[in-house]
Structure 1
């Protein structure tokens, strides 16, 4: 595939363009595809501008295929990290969205709630929960200036399983943000 086709496929995955660059733009904390004369480079640029070479290719198609596989793998790993299930002894058994909203209030989290929709706001992203076709779909929405793309993370059939997962995720997210702002 070529760069234009790669761009469309990445869009379909719902990966925020903060995490990659396809046209050589040097962005920190991103994977970059860069055409250097007759070679195609793929590298990761960290927040300090240091590069980590991930691949060097003679052909555009080779580089694009490699980058696509790399992004798909990263996307799958993120989904697996977020995927956990309700265990049988959980205090969340039988809990509903209303119970979750009460707990979110106790955590002092900002959220917006409607009948079939819940959005919880964090520093650089929000978590969106929608009831679609008798299933609860959980999305991450990256709050960037260029777009607000949503990436499907997990689908739940049972409301209590979803509430348990989301509450645990919020606790982890709060711990991370506290540590982040403490370091800053």
Structure 2
């Protein structure tokens, strides 16, 4: 993944397009509410998480937590195909409309509990979870390709660690703790 291309896209993508409120504050590097108890993450974290995934043009990506679609746009820009799962239908519909307006045609939107992953399209080269879980859902690790990466905030409601899980070519798993973060809770089987 070319970090220069990622940073260029980051500067070009207007975050206001993904917000219904607080548009005049879209340039501020912090999370803002998007309704239904959910937030749009701060831009610097979205960029950083995208870079941690090391996306390639041939990658198939699973995103758990579509939200506003802001992170989804980054994933779609730098990979072959994105499956994004959202449990809140109005958020999913708005994100789908936004991303189609931006001419993304490499995204499948799925309404459901992302903690189970999306087995019918597995395995995935990259998986990103944009809400905090109390533990890493084993089904997501199972759906990760060899040489795959899974990025997920893990912890409790007050504090989480952004965790990067790598699966090597033999299927061995390693976990790295990247930095402390604070995300909204994951909704579903592994919610906080």
Q: Which protein has the larger Cα radius of gyration, Structure 1 or Structure 2?
A: 1
The answer to whether the superposition gives a TM-score over 0.5 is: no
Give the structure with the higher percent helix.
1
Query: Normalising by the residue count of structure 2, what TM-score does the alignment of the two structures yield?
Result: 0.21
Query: Normalising by the residue count of structure 1, what TM-score does the alignment of the two structures yield?
Result: 0.22
